[in-house]
Amino acid sequence: MDPQLLPYDLHHDLLTYAQAAELAGPEVAEGTIRTWVHRGKLAKVDTPDGPRVLGINVLRAEAATRVRARRRPARVAA
């Protein structure tokens, strides 16, 4: 997703879980956003229209997850 084409401000606009998943990339599903919120890796804001998250926080959570995934040692089959 081209940052110049975003229809919202990452620092101020609250995104739905679907918008957050789209922002995070094709590897991230809407369920993943819910999991991050449940695990406390992503803060949510309750609104009358449902839970929302800040786009910048979604990008930070996705980057941290990607970094952790690369650090895990590969398992060798015995």
- The answer to whether 15 touches 8, Cβ cutoff 8 Å, is yes
At residue 43, does pLDDT exceed 50?
A: yes
Average pLDDT over residues 16-22: 95
pLDDT band at 68 (very low <50, low <70, confident <90, very high): confident
Q: What is the pLDDT of residue 75?
A: 57
- Structure token digits, residue 23: 């922002």
Overall pTM surpassing 0.85 (yes/no): no
| Enclosing H/E stretch for 9 | none
For the chain, the domains span 3-71
- Structure token digits, residue 14: 């609250």
